[in-house]
Chain A
């Protein structure tokens, strides 16, 4: 059986200050929980394409899609890297966890 694509989200870094951002309905938000989840890979690809507008206008860099799972309304990235990126460093707590996004 072919591997089923997990739902995806879209992320980037803000060019001017490096802040991690998540795509949400044509714009960017700071918190993973407020980001848009794409169950349909085509919708994810379309969002990635649309987001290039903000690469071209020098707002963001390093756009990419990543896998998530949603359980009981809570979004959890599949990869450890994205969990840490969404929350902040596990060893100090000075990242997004500090600003409660």
Chain B
């Protein structure tokens, strides 16, 4: 599936570099592998010992705090949307970025819609596995609401900050 990333503040098509591996499938010989939390916890040493980057895929019910300090050894954390109206991943993304200080890639997968892209970006997603939306869609989505009231990790100034700057 194509991958869109935000790089340098812009949405770009990116090379994935990772495969998402099922629990019962073999790990790839080379290249990045994204596994479930369960598998990561079971095969942690093997995974981190590979000469390739590792990622973990969390379901909507899984709190990223379960990864602990290991999160800093991951290149990707994928947060799944089982249905677009299941908004738990918005909190998981914020927890990754703020409480856990995670600097790697936070990727959205599963069922989400165009109208959520801006919210996802604001809470800390910076990559989307999607065959539904292209770069133009992302750019349009990000531009729809310029002024925001809440602080977030996208670095956008809040309305309060804009007011004080005047």
Q: Do any beta carbons of A and B sit within 8 angstroms of each other in the complex?
A: no
